[in-house]
């Protein structure tokens, strides 16, 4: 089965990530078979897709895109009937994932790829529950999947090269930006990079060096703007002028090493958590999460349009 022939996708688990995936798949003209055992899941999914749809319309819908291509099933096995690709989005708990992947694997023909959206669990452990572990891959998006192009595609010890190729080709065909990291690690790549930033952010709050609001501004109005266009290495390259990244490392390498040596290693104590939560509440000043999400998506959409128009890329 080639990626170009994939027309029917199962979305297993329709929380925040699953609902965003479902909306995106529908916008790409795919038939989506969704399932989630949580009470009220069907209604929440429909509400989420309706909220995402205007944004997806602005991005541009595929010719066959239609909300009528969505079906919801209370039963997992019914949702998997006849699908050609599975995007699993169950709770981030190893025991639940193992059982869920086992059931998914048992219900499908052996050539259907099962992709997990897990944020940090390892495929080598997850695929052990399956009869056909060779078709189980990581397909980790970045929230919200209906807007952010990145998908990390990683195999476990038993994953076949063919399954990785099919997953990469499928995500590419529907307009995603898949990457294939070379080593399986907890948290994968993008989340580990985020964790490194969060670690220092929490450290700075813990020692009273900066407020939550100042740290958010430092990123959103500083390096975050550059990172939205080019990655960290490409930005280092530009910092070196004609000499490129080599010039940057020659001159900033020693100071950079001293900064690394001085970075903090905070403990996420109840006291630190409370301090961050209290400062976050104060910084929001009555703004709702819904309004923030709407504003985030609006700005992100404009950024994606600008990137596309400018042809931004490092490769």
The CATH code that applies to domain 190-310 is 1.10.1040.10
**Tens-place pLDDT, residues 159-190:** 999 999 999 999 999 999 999 998 999 999 99
Buried b (16+ CB within 10 A) or exposed e, 85-119: bbbbbbeeeeeebbebbbbbbebbeeebbbbbbbb
Statement: residue 310 has pLDDT above 90: no
Average pLDDT over residues 62-68: 96
Q: Tell me the C-alpha distance between 131 and 224, whole Å.
A: 43
- Name the pLDDT band for 253 (thresholds 50, 70, 90): very high
**Tens-place pLDDT, residues 16-51:** 999 999 999 999 999 999 999 999 999 999 999 999
pLDDT at 96: 94
- pTM, 2 dp: 0.90
Statement: residue 61 has pLDDT above 60: yes
Provide the 3-class DSSP secondary structure of residue 268. Answer: coil
Q: Tell me the C-alpha distance between 62 and 150, whole Å.
A: 19
Provide the 3-class DSSP secondary structure of residue 130. Answer: coil
pLDDT at 90: 94
3-state helix, strand, coil in the chain (%, to 5): 55, 10, 30
Cα-based distances in Å from 237 to 18, 68, 241, 244: 37, 48, 7, 4
CB 131 within 8 A of CB 191: no
Domain ranges of the chain: 3-179, 190-310
pLDDT at 280: 95
Phi/psi zone of residue 188: left (φ > 0), alpha (ψ -120 to 50 degrees), beta? left
- Name the pLDDT band for 315 (thresholds 50, 70, 90): low
pLDDT at 2: 46
- Within a 10 A sphere around the Cβ of 125, how many other Cβ atoms? 14
Domain range 3-179, CATH class: alpha beta
Q: Which of 126, 106, 129 is nearest to 116 (CA)?
A: 126
Average pLDDT over residues 229-258: 94
Q: Tell me the C-alpha distance between 235 and 198, whole Å.
A: 20
- Name the pLDDT band for 260 (thresholds 50, 70, 90): very high
Percent of the chain with pLDDT over 70: 97
Kindly report the average pLDDT of the chain as a whole number: 94
Q: Tell me the C-alpha distance between 112 and 50, whole Å.
A: 29
Percent of the chain with pLDDT over 90: 87
**Tens-place pLDDT, residues 114-142:** 999 999 999 999 999 999 999 999 999 99
Q: Tell me the C-alpha distance between 243 and 249, whole Å.
A: 10
């Amino acid at each position: 089965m080639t990626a170009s022939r994939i027309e029917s996708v199962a979305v297993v688990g329709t929380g925040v990530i699953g609902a965003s995936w479902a909306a995106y798949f529908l916008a790409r003209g795919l038939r989506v078979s969704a399932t989630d055992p949580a009470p009220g899941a069907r209604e929440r999914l429909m509400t989420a897709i309706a909220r995402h749809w205007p944004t997806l319309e602005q991005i541009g819908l595929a010719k066959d895109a239609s909300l009528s291509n969505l079906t919801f099933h209370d039963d997992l096995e019914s949702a998997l009937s006849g699908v050609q690709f599975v995007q699993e989005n169950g709770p981030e708990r190893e025991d639940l994932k193992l059982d869920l992947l086992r059931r998914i694997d048992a219900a499908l023909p052996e050539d259907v790829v099962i992709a997990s959206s897990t944020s940090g669990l390892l495929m080598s452990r997850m695929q052990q529950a399956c009869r056909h572990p060779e078709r189980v891959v990581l397909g980790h998006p970045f929230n919200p999947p209906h807007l952010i192009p990145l998908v990390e595609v990683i195999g476990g010890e038993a994953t076949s090269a063919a399954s990785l190729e099919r997953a990469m080709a499928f995500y590419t065909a529907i307009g995603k930006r898949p990457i294939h990291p070379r080593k399986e690690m907890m948290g994968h790549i993008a989340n580990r990079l985020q964790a490194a930033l969060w670690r220092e952010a929490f450290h700075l709050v813990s020692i009273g060096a900066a407020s939550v609001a100042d740290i958010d501004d430092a990123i959103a109005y500083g390096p975050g703007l550059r990172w939205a266009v080019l990655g960290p290495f490409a930005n280092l390259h530009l910092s070196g002028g004609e000499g490129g990244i080599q010039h940057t490392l020659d001159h900033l390498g020693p100071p950079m090493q001293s900064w690394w040596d001085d970075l903090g290693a905070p403990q996420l104590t109840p006291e630190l958590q409370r301090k961050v939560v209290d400062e976050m509440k104060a910084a929001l000043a009555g703004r709702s999460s819904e309004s923030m999400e709407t504003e985030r998506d609006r700005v992100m959409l404009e950024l994606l349009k600008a990137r596309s128009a400018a042809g931004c890329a490092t490769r």
